[in-house]
Amino acid sequence: MVTLVNLRAYWRFLVVLYQFFPLIVAYTRDKRKYLLFGGGRRVTTEMRVKRADVLLESLLTLGPTFIKLGQLLSTRPDILPPEYIEVLGTLQDDVPPAPWDDSKAVLEAELGPVEEAFDAFDTEPISGASLGQVYVAEYEGEKVAVKVRRPGIEDLVEADLRVIRWSMPLLMRFIGEGRAFSLENLADEFAKTIREEMDYAEEAETLLEIQENFADDDTLVIPEPIPERSDDRVLTMEYLPGTKINNIEALDDRGIDRTELATNLQRIYLQMIVDDGVFHADPHPGNLSVTDDGRIIFYDFGMHGEVDPFIQEKIVEFYIAVANQDVDGILDTLIEMGTLSPNVDRQVMGDVMELAIADARGDDIEQYRVNQILEQVESTIYEFPLRLPRNLALVLRVAGVVEGVCVTLDPEFDFISVATDYLTEEGYREESVQKIIEGVGQQGQKTAQSLFRVPPKLERVLDRADRDNLTLNVRLEDNRGVLDKLAKRLIYGIFLSFGFVSTVIIYALNPENLVAVGAAGAPTAVVALLLWRSFRSRKGIRTTPQFTRQNLKERRRE
């Protein structure tokens, strides 16, 4: 079996290499215009969009594993430029269903003969995806949904995961060191994620956990799993039909309040992420329906995420900082979460945040949306050295998709208002204010202590100064070698002046002795060249910011 997987992996590696060969050539030419020689070339926005389209087609051609990989990459703006994120965001996990005979073989391997396991079984799937497909059946007189893993998908995924690992050294050649770290982590995370998504026993556990978390909430419905008809490759659960959440006309015909529906959806996800720490991570309209009485039905818990308490706390702080338009608070939270480097240019990122908030804000100061802010942040992530934690990337994606659904339901939906109300009701804003008050109190205590300690110390210093017995030791931090450059330029300038004057004097005294003039002028010319080169370098003192408010505006106009 291992040998067959290896042989399949070798063949898939050749297929993948062939499929991505045009992109490999294009990226190589970015560094060497004529492949083996020549300078680099400038990559425009239009070129990136075309390459992203080629990448999208390649992922679709390569099948289930790479479709899932593309979906995961669409959540990682720390690895890909914004143009790729936008194109890959359209990637749908929708593939033709497998033949019934193949699915039947999987069912019977897990549960025995289909006729004995179920009262009736409709062999036409009601939905299909890259890893599995869903059928409708009857069990003990009730309709059930039966999710069956796609036949043979395990071997294909394992072979493709090997191909991805083998391809990593090649990919590292085309990206920077910081993004190489993120990409390597992504490969490990992707392998874990796709294996979890194929494990229907784990999906059933997640489904039950979230169901228990919302046991007292009547705004949503989660299908009940049927353990005796479920296994690692088959998941049988309660069949819950409903109206697709983006079918606006049908919702209006049923008299459902769409604003209330959007509010409920937002509050459900806030509880999942901020309170419970486990969340449904694939909230696209195909996985959300609405009952006739306005409750939200959740389908497909294969893709789920977990948030540890530290990240939960920081997400709350982020929401509160956005609601308060506290740019410094937003930056501090992103740095503490590990999203922004501590060495990031705060002025530049502050400008980005201010512009994002200003653009997103309406007439009412509270009328702006987190998704627009996230889009602006994501458009700068590729410009800065970031490492985006996996589950945080998933949270960002979920927040964006959920807000898109909410705005479809109600174009005037105010994400911030709902989030602020929720955090206030749950006591998070009060807790945040309490922390600030405690911090101010501690600072005040330290200040009071300083008022007693500083005067005696100051008096001693002034006494020493009065006796001419005060010595100051000054230590300069010069990580960029600025002082070293200035010293070199000063020395070069002195030698150049001395050499120039000496050469002029020798020439004036004896213009016919060219050997003497050359002996004095040659070293002077060398010093002049060294001085010129020290000013020509763009490192150190003469640096230019890589991202400014102006080029952000230009990018937005494009």
**394/377 Cα distance (integer angstroms):** 15
The token pair that represents 424 in the structure block: 């206030």
- Grouping H, G, I as helix, E, B as strand and the rest as coil, residue 489 is helix
Buried b (16+ CB within 10 A) or exposed e, 62-91: bbbbbbbbbbbbbbbbbbbbbbbbbbbeeb
- Grouping H, G, I as helix, E, B as strand and the rest as coil, residue 145 is strand
**124/133 Cα distance (integer angstroms):** 10
Burial class (CB in 10 A: 0-12, 13-18, 19+), 203: buried
Cβ pair 531, 517 in contact under 8 A: no
Cβ pair 243, 249 in contact under 8 A: no
175 CB neighbour count, 10 Å cutoff: 15
Q: Please enumerate, as own/partner, the contacts of 353-356 that have beta carbons within 8 Å and a separation of 24 or more.
A: 353/327, 353/377, 354/327, 355/549, 355/552, 355/553
With the C-alpha atoms ordered 264, 268, 271, 274, is the resulting torsion angle positive or negative? Answer: negative
**70/20 Cα distance (integer angstroms):** 14
**Which helix (DSSP H) or strand (DSSP E) does residue 235 occupy?**
strand 234-238
Catalytic residue among 93, 160, 231, 282: 282
| Residue (of 335, 367, 20) closest to 164 by Cα position | 20
The C-alpha torsion from 540 through 82 and 335 to 384, rounded to 10°, is -10
Burial class (CB in 10 A: 0-12, 13-18, 19+), 108: middle
Strand partners, 236: 146
Q: Give residues with Cβ within 8 angstroms of 308, minimum separation 6.
A: 277, 391
Residue 271: C-alpha distances to residues 73, 244, 278, 281, 317 (Å): 26, 22, 9, 13, 15
**342/386 Cα distance (integer angstroms):** 10
The tokens 């993004």 sit on which residue?
A: 179
The token pair that represents 336 in the structure block: 């503490």
**492/530 Cα distance (integer angstroms):** 7
- Residue 282 a catalytic site member: yes
Over 458-473, what HEC string results? HHHHHHHHHCCCCCCC
Q: Give residues with Cβ within 8 angstroms of 263, minimum separation 6.
A: 413, 418
Q: What are the residue numbers of the active site? A: 282
